[in-house]
């Protein structure tokens, strides 16, 4: 929770300080709370959902003081996130579990892949990486350096290579070597958005040729500091790629810890992990209650 402390303090400064005081619970206060939630990027719909419950509870005198209001708010926020609290499960299998990682440049994709690889490795899985972001030259190097340092094999073909071909090779190699989990990086930007989506679809097709059940997880990495943009990106990727999970990064240094509620409300996709820093250990399995407690209490 320490890593989330900056988010927490901002969230609380913005949202909850006025509730910690002993203000009377009335329509003004509820209206104030509503606008604070929206300003914290919780989103119009998620805010409306929470507020309708709180308004009802207040009108029935079920919530009479600021402590009770905070508890009620906390409960409703947890409810919003419980539906998307679905940790990634990797079954034991003879063939590699293939995780395809997508997202725009700068979202934290490469860093997340490194963190995830380490976490899986620490959990006893053998891991291989595919340097499928062949468009951004530094991405291949970044992944290779990371792999060398952590003893994780990285399949690459240098920048400018065909992404689908790199990932095809990697799946073959992972099968041959009995690897448990293959994590494939992909491009986060091409000359046009259409190019990118076509390339990603091709990657998916090619993986499916080697294993019709793969990719087993198509994970989008979203920068939690980008608010509404993150939502729009996720929608667009979901349309072409049928995402199965999300990672929300940079929740350590942002005032926008609230965006996760909007993401949950709008996309309803499992949030597998959250990124709470730049270090390798700064990737946490997403837990609704823990997240809300870190923000609110
Ligand atoms: P990519 O272009 O999507 O592959 O993004 P990178 O993995 O290169 O990350 C972009 C920047 O964000 C780097 O400086 C990372 O160290 C940083 N970053 C990634 N995840 C997090 C996070 O959870 N918290 C913070 N504070 N920084 C992060």
Q: Which of 193, 140, 141 is nearest to 166 (CA)?
A: 140
pLDDT in tens, 247-256: 999 988 665 6
Torsion of CA 66, 69, 75, 81, to 10 degrees: -90
111 CA from centroid of ligand 1 (Å): 6
pLDDT of residue 65: 87
pLDDT at 20: 57
- Written as one string, the DSSP assignment of 157-195 is --TTS-HHHHHHHHHHHHHHTT-SEEEE---S--SSHHH
Residue nearest to atom 6 of ligand 1 (CA): 108
Q: How many CA atoms lie within 13 A of 53 on its CB side?
A: 16
Which residue owns the Cα nearest ligand 1 atom 12? Answer: 108
- Token pair in block for residue 194: 């259409």
Give yes or no for residue 281 CB within 6 A of ligand 1.
Answer: no
Which residue stretches of the chain have pLDDT < 70? Answer: 1-21, 159, 253-256, 297
Ligand 1 in contact with 249 (CB < 6 A)? yes
pTM given for the model: 0.91
Ligand 1 neighbourhood includes 276 CB (under 6 angstroms): yes
Overall size of the chain counted in residues: 297
Which of 119, 118, 120, 144 has the alpha carbon at shortest distance from 131? 144
Q: Is 243 annotated as contributing to ligand binding?
A: no
Residue 82 annotated as part of some ligand binding site: no
- Strands of 152-289 (E only): list them: 154-155, 181-184, 217-223, 245-249, 271-275, 283-285
pLDDT value at position 3?
A: 65
**Which of 111, 129, 219 is the pocket-test mutation for ligand 1 (most atoms within 8 Å of CB)?**
111
User: What local confidence, expressed as pLDDT, does residue 254 receive?
Assistant: 60
Cβ atoms of residues 40 and 19 within 8 Å: no
Say yes or no: CB of residue 240 within 6 Å of ligand 1: no
pLDDT digits (tens, 9 = 90+) for 274-285: 999 999 999 999
Structure tokens at 279: 């270090």
Residue among 20, 10, 32 nearest 69 (CA): 20
């Amino acid at each position: 929770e320490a890593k989330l402390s900056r988010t927490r303090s901002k969230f609380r400064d913005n949202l909850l300080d006025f509730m910690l005081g002993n203000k009377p619970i009335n329509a003004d206060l509820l209206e104030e709370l509503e606008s604070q939630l929206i300003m914290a990027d919780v989103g119009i719909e998620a805010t409306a959902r929470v507020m309708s419950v709180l308004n009802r509870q207040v009108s029935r005198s079920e919530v009479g003081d600021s402590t009770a209001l905070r508890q009620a708010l906390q409960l409703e926020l947890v409810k919003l996130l419980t539906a998307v609290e679905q940790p990634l499960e990797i079954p034991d299998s003879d063939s590699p579990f293939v995780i395809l990682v997508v997202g725009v440049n700068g979202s934290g994709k490469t860093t997340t892949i490194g963190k995830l690889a380490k976490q899986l490795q620490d959990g006893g899985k053998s891991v291989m990486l595919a340097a499928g972001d062949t468009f951004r030259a530094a991405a291949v190097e970044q992944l290779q350096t990371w792999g060398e340092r952590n003893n994780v094999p990285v399949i690459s073909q240098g920048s400018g290579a065909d992404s689908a071909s790199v990932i095809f090779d990697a799946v073959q190699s992972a099968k041959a070597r009995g690897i448990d989990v293959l994590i494939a990086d992909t491009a986060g930007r091409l000359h046009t958005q259409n190019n990118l989506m076509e390339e990603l679809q091709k990657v998916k097709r090619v993986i499916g040729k080697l294993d019709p059940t793969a990719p087993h997880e198509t994970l989008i990495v979203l920068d939690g500091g980008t608010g509404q943009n993150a939502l729009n990106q996720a929608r667009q990727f979901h349309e072409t790629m049928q995402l199965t999970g999300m990672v929300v990064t940079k929740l350590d240094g942002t005032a926008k810890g609230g965006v996760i509620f909007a993401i949950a409300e709008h996309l309803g996709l499992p949030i597998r992990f959250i990124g709470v820093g730049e270090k390798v250990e700064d990737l946490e399995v997403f837990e609704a209650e823990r997240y809300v407690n870190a923000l609110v209490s």
